[in-house]
Amino acid sequence: MADSAGIQQGSPAIGAAGLVPAAPGAAGTEGSGAAGRSARIAVKKAQLRSSPRPKKLEKLGVYSSCKAEGACKCNGWKSQNPPPTPPRTDQQSNTVNLQEPCRSCSHTLGDHVTHLENVSEEEMNRLLGIVLDVEYLYTCVHKEEDADTKQVYFSLFKLLRKSILLMGKPMLEAQDSPPFEKPSIEQGVNNFVQYKFSHLPSKERQTIMELAKMFLNQINYWQLETPSQRRQRVPNDDAAGYKANYTRWLCYCNVPQFCDSLPRYETTQIFGRTLLRSVFTVMRKQLLEQARQEKDKLPPEKRTLILTHFPKFLSMLEEEVYSHSSPIWSQDFLAGASGGQIPIHTVISAPPVARPLYYSTSPVSVDPSSGSVSPARKTASVLEPNPVGEKRKPSEPLTQEENKRPRVVGDIPMDLINEVMATIADPAAIPETSLLSAHSARDEAARLEERRGVIEFHVIGNSLNQKPNKRILMWLVGLQNVFSHQLPRMPKEYITRLVFDPKHKTLSLIKDGRVIGGICFRMFPSQGFTEIVFCAVTSNEQVKGYGTHLMNHLKEYHIKHEILNFLTYADEYAIGYFKKQGFSKDIKVPKAKYVGYIKDYEGATLMGCELNPSIPYTEFSVIIKKQKEIIKKLIERKQAQIRKVYPGLSCFKEGVRQIPIESIPGIRETGWKPMGKGKELKDPDQLYSSLKTILQHVKSHQNAWPFMEPVKKTEAPGYYQVIRFPMDLKTMSERLKSRYYTTRKLFMADMQRIFTNCREYNPPESEYYKCANLLEKFFYTKIKEAGLIEK
């Protein structure tokens, strides 16, 4: 649509001013301008409604048919002296003459408004609001250049015009009425939050809720592209379906934001997956650009949420939006979900600051023979990933030989594993354990892009024996440019020589037909290792997981070629990247194998990586997530088993003072096992002395500082709402002094409560969480040294 039309695709303005919708028919989409136009319309309506009654009649007479005798066909009074355009406030008069004749039919103004004589002020004000909406739409029709949008504006103009003539309420006449698809976008996001994050602690779940609200808000104020624009961008898309949704969106969501005489609905409540699919990709891309440009304007408290967590949230949601088997779009979703629905209500008035960064995931393996991309290989067995090649299907039972392997104490029966795997609703869409986890998959975004065909991986190289391939040569030139630009300290002639050297190959990353990254390497099959020479991704495509996914493809390529060791010299800027990819300074390859083969670089660090042929690296994070889902299902089954209610203990009424724990009905079903036999000191003084020594050691430990005294409410708001039974080392010292600990179990229970409370309230990456783990390990070491539990 032309700039003057105003309904352009894209996001509203973001930043300190927040998010404000753009008015239809007005130029541009800047939030401040849209807010000004919306405010001006509201001011005009307020001014008109506060005018004297004769002035109101004059305004309504313009849109009222003549009621004079003789069946006059005039459909609106026209003044003999029309006001100038634009009207001048200094020349306006408040006097209205009901006897002034109409310029069209010569009947008086009073003849046009006789039907309004007994109408209440409230009804007259309602009609005046419609009048101003009609005038606004009239302007939109004349300014609009897009034919589809102009047609909708004109239809709404005629509808409101008719409502004034008939003094009725505007009712859109259409075959379908809202909602147009179930479940709605809002319900789908609700289901997504329930499906992926219901297991999270309340603190993290609240963050997810905020992200979901921001996302819904963005859609409610998103300006859809016109059908003609979409046809140019996506020529093979369902044009008729999109046009129908675009028309509905204009009539029910966009125009009513400013013409409030029309009934208004939220986009997220009346549209579903179809509309979301048509806007999701472009919406995320534009919000990403906006976030990059305006990141300095974001409030500090929102910066991490928007620039770090929101992109990951959208990346996970994208999988569910485009997946053909996602359960969140089923109308029966909540019926099968455990727990109640997480309430997410669209925040319309609050201006959010939200924009996504990231794409998503998809596994594809490289064909070593041709250097081209082959379809993603089948997912390996969840419990025992096999070497690359033939893979057992996840639901296939184990063979007899595998079943004969030694059983581990506490091992789960394979029959139960197979049964649980069959109950996983969507094996392809595995829920993330925690969106905010520092250990979430780095390559997740790149994997989804690969599955959707946005990026490709090709192993290429120059050849002196075969006819040159123009495309491969262009890619090699592109790789030479990427390496030269990203590795400025490396001589360009040296880079060019190695990239085009027939002994070297390069795993190239292709996006939109151009090279955006790659890993140049040389294989030494006789020595059992490969040297990685260059590794780079162009700067504007970084932080998307491409580097990790590149390395994972390279690992699988070498596993197929039975080379299981990488060596590389990493400069100070690359050491961090290689560490994340499994490299270390501990070289597994004997020095005699690589000395004289690998190129030595001054000031660089030699690093190595040993590959495990049993790991499908491009799918490894998916397998881990599937394992977590299986464990979650097993826990749910176990919880269902232990919900059985046993009769209470009546033996104490009969005079019994104490019974063994193992005799309590149902205790073993919960997973309880007798503790290892330890030395229970019967002498109270000896027990007191041992516990006092242990407590002193714990209190003097370098990681005990967070637990020395009770937590203060001012330092940790809401702590005592989360932690029902607090404990600290000061309280334990007082209990020990008062001889409260009559057994070692009481003492150990209080100490364990300190560590458990800390881990429940604090996130895993916090310093307190780490202190709890280290101090707990130290405590049990001292307990064992004292002989209170078995070593």
Instruction: Collect all residues with Cβ–Cβ distance below 8 Å to 375 and sequence separation of at least 6.
Output: 364, 365
Classify residue 367 by its DSSP letter. E
Q: Has residue 641 been placed in a domain?
A: no
Classify residue 663 by its DSSP letter. G
Instruction: Collect all residues with Cβ–Cβ distance below 8 Å to 389 and sequence separation of at least 6.
Output: none
Domain boundary among 586, 612, 638: 612
Query: What is the spatial distance between Cα 177 and Cα 168, in angstroms, rounded to a whole number?
Result: 19
Write out the binding residues: 535-537, 542-548, 573-576
779: domain CATH number?
1.20.920.10
507: domain CATH number?
3.40.630.30
| Band of pLDDT at residue 421, cut at 50, 70 and 90 | low
User: Which one has a higher pLDDT value, 699 or 202?
Assistant: 699
Query: Is the same domain home to 118 and 212?
Result: no
* Helix (H) or strand (E) run with residue 333 in it: helix 333-336
* Cα–Cα nearest to 454, from 404, 380, 509, 412: 509
Query: What is the spatial distance between Cα 42 and Cα 485, in angstroms, rounded to a whole number?
Result: 55
Residue reference for tokens 């330092």: 715
Q: Has residue 677 been placed in a domain?
A: no
531 in catalytic set? yes
User: Which one has a higher pLDDT value, 336 or 757?
Assistant: 757
The pLDDT, as a whole number, for residue 675 is 61
Write out the binding residues for acetyl-CoA: 535-537, 542-548, 573-576
pLDDT at residue 681 tops 70: no
**Tokens encoding 241:** 């379906």
Query: What is the spatial distance between Cα 27 and Cα 626, in angstroms, rounded to a whole number?
Result: 50
Residues 662-669: contacts with CB within 8 Å, 24+ apart?
A: 666/642, 669/641, 669/642, 669/644
Q: Has residue 358 been placed in a domain?
A: no
Q: Has residue 377 been placed in a domain?
A: no
User: Which one has a higher pLDDT value, 89 or 757?
Assistant: 757
Q: Has residue 488 been placed in a domain?
A: yes
The pLDDT, as a whole number, for residue 258 is 83
Residue 483 vs residues 142, 407, 546: alpha-carbon distances, Å: 54, 52, 15
Query: Is the same domain home to 258 and 139?
Result: no
Q: Using CB atoms within 10 A of its CB, is residue 377 exposed (0-12), middle (13-18) or buried (19+)?
A: middle
Dihedral, CA of residue 379, residue 383, residue 387 and residue 391, to nearest 10: -50
CB atoms within 10 A of CB 374: 12
Residue reference for tokens 């004997």: 590
Query: Is the same domain home to 153 and 189?
Result: no
Query: Is the same domain home to 484 and 515?
Result: yes
pLDDT 10s digits, 706-728: 999 999 888 888 888 888 889 99
- Phi then psi for 74, rounded to 5 degrees? -65, 130
pLDDT 10s digits, 147-176: 999 999 899 988 888 888 888 888 887 767
pLDDT 10s digits, 223-238: 899 999 888 888 877 8
- Phi then psi for 431, rounded to 5 degrees? -70, 145
Contact, 272 vs 279, CB < 8 A?
no
Q: Percentage of residues in the chain with pLDDT exceeding 70? A: 77
Query: What is the spatial distance between Cα 252 and Cα 269, in angstroms, rounded to a whole number?
Result: 11
Beta bridge partners of 372: 367
The pLDDT, as a whole number, for residue 207 is 86
Q: What is the mean pLDDT of residues 69-74?
A: 76
Query: Is the same domain home to 599 and 457?
Result: yes
User: Which one has a higher pLDDT value, 361 or 681?
Assistant: 681
pLDDT at residue 266 tops 80: yes
Domain boundary among 587, 612, 637: 612
Contact, 326 vs 427, CB < 8 A?
no
Q: Which of 531, 556, 619, 776 is catalytic?
A: 531
The three-state secondary structure class of 374 is: strand
User: Which one has a higher pLDDT value, 361 or 471?
Assistant: 471
DSSP string, 247-297: HHHIIIIIGGGT-TTS----HHHH--HHHHHHHHHHHHHHHHHHHHHHGGG
CA 693 vs. chain centroid, Å, equals: 50
* Helix (H) or strand (E) run with residue 135 in it: helix 121-143
Contact, 262 vs 170, CB < 8 A?
yes
Q: Has residue 628 been placed in a domain?
A: no
Dihedral, CA of residue 433, residue 437, residue 441 and residue 446, to nearest 10: 110
Query: Is the same domain home to 464 and 602?
Result: yes
The pLDDT, as a whole number, for residue 375 is 31
Q: What is the mean pLDDT of residues 351-364?
A: 30
| Band of pLDDT at residue 364, cut at 50, 70 and 90 | very low
Q: Using CB atoms within 10 A of its CB, is residue 567 exposed (0-12), middle (13-18) or buried (19+)?
A: buried
The pLDDT, as a whole number, for residue 650 is 77
Query: Is the same domain home to 470 and 556?
Result: yes
Query: Is the same domain home to 583 and 482?
Result: yes
Contact, 348 vs 451, CB < 8 A?
no
Query: Is the same domain home to 135 and 84?
Result: yes
Beta 565-570 vs 529-537: how paired, if at all?
parallel
pLDDT 10s digits, 366-419: 333 333 333 333 322 222 233 333 333 333 444 444 444 444 445 566 677 667
- Phi then psi for 610, rounded to 5 degrees? -100, 125
DSSP string, 164-219: HHHT-------SS-S--SSS-HHHHHHHHHHHHHTTS-HHHHHHHHHHHHHHHHHH
Domain boundary among 573, 591, 612: 612
Q: In one letter, which amino acid is 586?
A: D
Query: Is the same domain home to 526 and 588?
Result: yes
Classify residue 507 by its DSSP letter. E
The count of domains in the chain is: 4
Is the Cα dihedral 515, 519, 523, 528 positive or negative?
Answer: negative
| Band of pLDDT at residue 522, cut at 50, 70 and 90 | very high
pLDDT 10s digits, 29-59: 334 444 556 667 777 878 777 788 777 777 7
The pLDDT, as a whole number, for residue 441 is 65
The pLDDT, as a whole number, for residue 390 is 36
Q: Mean pLDDT for the chain? A: 76
The pLDDT, as a whole number, for residue 625 is 80
**Tokens encoding 160:** 């409101």
Query: Is the same domain home to 161 and 193?
Result: no
| Band of pLDDT at residue 513, cut at 50, 70 and 90 | confident
Can you give the residue range of the structural domain that contains 68?
32-166
Q: Has residue 24 been placed in a domain?
A: no
Query: Is the same domain home to 153 and 248?
Result: no
pTM given for the model: 0.44
Q: In one letter, which amino acid is 729?
A: L
Cβ-count burial 251-288 (b if 16+ within 10 Å, e if not): bbbbbbbbbbbbeebbbbbbbbbebbebbbbbbbebbb
**Tokens encoding 129:** 């609001």
pLDDT 10s digits, 640-670: 766 777 777 877 777 777 777 877 877 777 7
The pLDDT, as a whole number, for residue 765 is 86
Q: Has residue 472 been placed in a domain?
A: yes
